[in-house]
Structure formats: C-alpha cells, structure tokens
C-alpha cells in the first residue's frame, strides 16, 4: 500500500510540478554535445507525453517491474539501477551495524541508568546532548578531531585510494579503518535517543504493579529489573520502526561528510546535477528499504512478545 503511494508520488512529482524538468535538463546538457539529441528522444519516450495520463502511469509501473529506473544524467549513460545497486552495500554496511548496535547499547545503558542517581545524572545529560546533535555536525567534528588534527583515521572514502574493492585482508582492514568514524557518528546519535527512551520506560515499568509485587515478595532487584527491561523493550522496538526514517536521513548526511560511496553521496551528486531519474530512483530505494526493515521488525516483534504470537494463532 505504502509502496503504491510512494511510486505514485515518484511518478506524479516530476509531472505536476511547475516548470519543465525536461527542458531544464536539456539546457543543462548543452555542455555534452551529442548526448543532448539522444536524451531528447529518450525523454520523449521515457515520459511518454504523447499518450494519455493513465497510460503514462501504467507504463511507469511496467518499466519499474523490469527494474528500469531510467538513465542517470550525472553519470550518463549508466542506468540508475546499476548506480544504486553499487552504492547500496556501503550504505548497508554503515546503517545496519549502527542501528543494531546503538539500539542494543542504548537500551542496556538506559536500563542501567534508570533510578540510579550517579549514572542517571551522567548518562542522561550526555544522551540529551547526543540525541540533539545533528548527524553531519558530529561527523564533521569527528573528522576534524580524529582525522585532521590527530591523524588516526582517514578523512574520507570507504577504502584506501590505492585499493580496489575485493575480498582480501588488506581491503578489509582498510575498509574497517575508514568505516569507524562514520559508523561512530551514526552510532552515538542513535545511542543517546535509545538510552533516554529506555531509561524513561524502565522507570515507568518499575512503578507498575507487577514490579512492586515482585519486589514485595523479596525478589532481588536484579530480577525485578530484568522483568521491567523485557516489558520496556517492546515500545522501544516500536520506536525503532519509527526512527528508521531519521536514521536513514542521518546516514545520508554522514556519508556526505565522509565522501562515503553510498546512497548519501550519490544523493548529493544527484541533487547537484539535478539528476531527476537518479533522485527518483534513490527515493524508491529508500522507501523499499524502510518497508523491508519495518517488515523485519514486525516479525521480530512476534518473536519477542508472546502475546502477539498467541493472537496470530487465534489462541484464547
């Protein structure tokens, strides 16, 4: 459903926005003689302005199912889908560990901090600063501190200039070395948010009747907290689904800061070159990514919360 809406938006925006993107594109292409003529024909076909509007829409879907997202202008004549697929692994290599680790660590630390004066008064303010930090600024400061001032880490890129992407120890080491700073920028901002959320939820759960009952039975604090943690985790997982959009946004700007060859840097190039097909392609990919992640989270939820499992089996 969301996907249909997303595709429709993707289709409609270039068509119903003021101005003529095709003309604007062609005027930009003057610099590359020869390409201009080829493009004009291509656009006429791609946008298919001569057929009725509903048919344009159906054609758009048909092309989509063939994996045809058009040709890039910035990297003419590479297909958009090819560009995106080659950038995708880098983005995933940053995003997936950053999301999972910050979620895990943030929740653990947040749970520890709740109702413990010293920890609470140190972790909480730090978390608030972190969660209010713009991703790109943290990235910029990390580069300035650890790559520019003290050259521990490389300034930009995903691997050494002399290397080619391949499966080798040398490449892996270089990749990891380049990966740490952008990963840290994403990790730290995410960490702050989860720690705050978990801390608040734990306090709320510790106030609940079952916690008080357990404590009055003489159960050790550790056990009570363990139960509270498991209950507090559920809304946090819902929060994870909601936070995906923000994390994706963070990854885009962080990649730009580090010139990391993922979707973010590709987006910047697309914007700077007004490469509309590429922008539209990235838009679709981001939405597909978030939808898939949502689906995974939904499934994970079933495993974590037994109540939903019962509901699905039509239980009592």
Partner 1 sequence: MAVSDHERTDPAADRIATLDVAAPTVPTAALLPSGRSEFAYFALRNWKFDLGLGVVLVCVAAALVGPLLTDHEPLAFTGPTDQPPSSEYWFGTTSFGQDVFTQFVYGLRAAFVVGIVAGGIAWLLGAVVGFTAGYRGGWVDDVLNMLTNVVLVIPTIALLIIVAAYVEVHSYATEAILIGLTSWPWAARAVRAQTFSLKTREFVDVARLSGRGTRQIIATELAPNMSSYLLMMFILLFGGAILIGASLDFLGLGPSESISLGLMMNNAFLSSALILGTWWWFVPPGVGIIAIVGGLYVMNVGLDEVFNPKLRER
Write out the binding residues for partner 1, residues 129-188 only, by CB under 8 A.
129, 131-138, 140-141, 143-144, 147-149, 155
CB 141 → partner 1: shortest distance, Å? Answer: 7
In angstroms, rounded to a whole number, what is the distance separating the alpha carbons of residues 208 and 210? 6
List for the chain the helix, strand, coil content (%; round to 5): 80, 0, 20
What residues from 246 to 285 belong to the interface with partner 1 (CB under 8 A)? Answer: 246, 248-250, 252-253, 256-257, 267-268, 270-272, 274, 276, 279-280, 282-283
Gyration radius from the chain CA atoms: 24
73 token code pair: 């202008």
In angstroms, rounded to a whole number, what is the distance separating the alpha carbons of residues 280 and 10? 6
CB 286 → partner 1: shortest distance, Å? Answer: 4
Torsion of CA 284, 289, 293, 298, to 10 degrees: 30
Q: Which of 98, 196, 214, 228 binds partner 1 (CB under 8 A)?
A: 196
In angstroms, rounded to a whole number, what is the distance separating the alpha carbons of residues 244 and 99? 9
Matching residue, tokens 């006429």? 44
What residues from 197 to 236 belong to the interface with partner 1 (CB under 8 A)? Answer: 197, 200-201, 203-204, 207, 234-236
Q: How many residues bind partner 1 (CB under 8 A)?
A: 83
Q: Which is nearer to partner 1, 38 or 56 (CB)?
A: 56
Q: Which is nearer to partner 1, 63 or 291 (CB)?
A: 291
Neighbours of 155 (CB within 10 A): 15
CB 298 → partner 1: shortest distance, Å? Answer: 5
DSSP 267: H
- In terms of C-beta density within 10 A (0-12 exposed, 13-18 middle, 19 or more buried), how is residue 228 classed? buried
What residues from 72 to 131 belong to the interface with partner 1 (CB under 8 A)? Answer: 115, 125, 128-129, 131
Q: Which is nearer to partner 1, 150 or 169 (CB)?
A: 150
Q: Which is nearer to partner 1, 16 or 167 (CB)?
A: 16
Matching residue, tokens 């048909």? 62
286 near partner 1, rule: CB under 8 A: yes
In angstroms, rounded to a whole number, what is the distance separating the alpha carbons of residues 147 and 152? 6
CB 169 → partner 1: shortest distance, Å? Answer: 30
CB 191 → partner 1: shortest distance, Å? Answer: 14
Q: Which is nearer to partner 1, 32 or 148 (CB)?
A: 148
276 token code pair: 């509309």
Q: Which is nearer to partner 1, 126 or 219 (CB)?
A: 126
Q: Which of 77, 89, 165, 245 binds partner 1 (CB under 8 A)?
A: 245
Q: Which is nearer to partner 1, 86 or 294 (CB)?
A: 294
29 contacts 39 by C-beta, under 8 angstroms = yes
Residues in the chain: 316
What residues from 6 to 65 belong to the interface with partner 1 (CB under 8 A)? Answer: 6, 9-10, 13-14, 17-19, 21
205 contacts 228 by C-beta, under 8 angstroms = yes
In angstroms, rounded to a whole number, what is the distance separating the alpha carbons of residues 230 and 149? 43
Q: Which is nearer to partner 1, 11 or 171 (CB)?
A: 11
CB 170 → partner 1: shortest distance, Å? Answer: 26
CB 115 → partner 1: shortest distance, Å? Answer: 8
């Amino acid at each position: 459903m969301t996907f249909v809406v997303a595709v429709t938006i993707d289709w409609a925006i270039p068509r119903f926005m003021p101005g003529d993107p095709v003309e604007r594109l062609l005027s930009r292409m003057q610099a590359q003689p020869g390409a201009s003529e080829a493009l004009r024909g291509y656009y006429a076909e791609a946008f298919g302005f001569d057929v009725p509007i509903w048919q344009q829409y159906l054609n758009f879907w048909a092309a989509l199912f063939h994996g045809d997202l058009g040709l890039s202008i910035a990297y003419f004549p590479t297909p958009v889908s090819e560009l995106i697929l080659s950038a995708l692994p880098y983005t995933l290599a940053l995003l997936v560990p950053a999301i999972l680790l910050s979620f895990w660590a943030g929740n653990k630390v947040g749970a520890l901090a709740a109702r413990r004066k010293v920890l609470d008064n140190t972790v909480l303010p730090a978390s608030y600063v972190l969660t209010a930090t713009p991703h790109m600024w943290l990235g910029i400061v990390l580069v300035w501190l650890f790559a520019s001032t003290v050259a521990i880490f490389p300034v930009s890129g995903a691997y050494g200039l002399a290397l080619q992407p391949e499966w080798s120890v040398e490449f892996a080491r270089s990749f990891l070395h380049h990966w740490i700073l952008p990963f840290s920028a994403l990790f730290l901002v995410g960490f702050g948010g989860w720690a705050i959320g978990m801390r608040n939820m734990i306090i709320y759960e510790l106030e609940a009747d079952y916690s008080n009952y357990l404590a009055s039975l003489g159960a050790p604090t550790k056990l009570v907290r363990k139960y509270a943690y498991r209950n507090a985790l559920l809304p946090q997982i819902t929060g994870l689904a909601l936070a995906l959009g923000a994390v994706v946004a963070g990854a885009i700007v962080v990649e730009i800061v580090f010139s990391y060859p993922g979707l973010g840097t590709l987006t910047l190039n697309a914007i700077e070159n007004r490469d509309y097909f590429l922008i539209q392609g990235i838009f679709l990919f981001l939405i597909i990514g978030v939808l898939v992640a949502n689906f995974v989270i939904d499934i994970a939820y079933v495993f974590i919360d037994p109540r939903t499992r019962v509901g699905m089996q039509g239980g009592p």
